[in-house]
Structure 1
């Protein structure tokens, strides 16, 4: 195993979670996470945040709410002109 400390693991955490890192580095970070509770916690927070954002991007507002928001935007725009 090469030296994959907390700094390296945290620096590459986002790429690791998205599987955008080479196999060797992925293994090193995985091994580090398996043995470092602090980095495990950070990885869990990052993973949870990524999942919540992804879920939120798939959701859309109810049509009635969207219509109300657009109506208010049009009203605000007309009032400012």
Structure 2
């Protein structure tokens, strides 16, 4: 393997985080990050953001709020 460099690692970081690279490309980036504090830091930020977005998508509104919103939607929805 060869060090892919910061430019390539940072450009493909999103794909790396989502496992969208070939095995060889992913190995190159992993090898680079093992020796690059800057890219490792960006990787950590990317992972943190990805995990926060995933967890936010799983949250549900409280039952009372959900009922209130649905009632308002029914109020403003035109009747057929």
Q: Same fold (TM over 0.5)?
A: yes
TM range (shorter): 0.7 to 0.9
Matches of residues 1-81 of structure 1 in structure 2 within 5 Å?
Answer: 1-71=1-71, 77=76
With 3-12 and 62-71 compared, the bigger mean Cα shift is at 62-71
Is there any run of 5+ residues in structure 2 with no aligned partner, and where? none
Q: Using the alignment, how far apart are the partners of 2:23 and 2:8 within structure 1?
A: 15
RMSD: 1.6
Q: Using the alignment, how far apart are the partners of 2:56 and 2:26 within structure 1?
A: 27
Q: How many residues align?
A: 77
TM-score, length of structure 2 as denominator length? 0.82
Q: CA deviation at 1:66?
A: 1.8
Q: Using the alignment, how far apart are the partners of 1:40 and 1:3 within structure 2?
A: 14
TM-score, length of structure 1 as denominator length? 0.81
Q: Using the alignment, how far apart are the partners of 2:56 and 2:41 within structure 1?
A: 22
Greater than 2 Å deviation, 4+ residue runs = 67-75
SS state at 1:65 partner: helix
1:9-68 deviation per Cα after TM superposition (whole angstroms, max 9, x unaligned): 011101111111001111000001111001111000000000010011111111101223
Structure with greater helix share of residues:
1
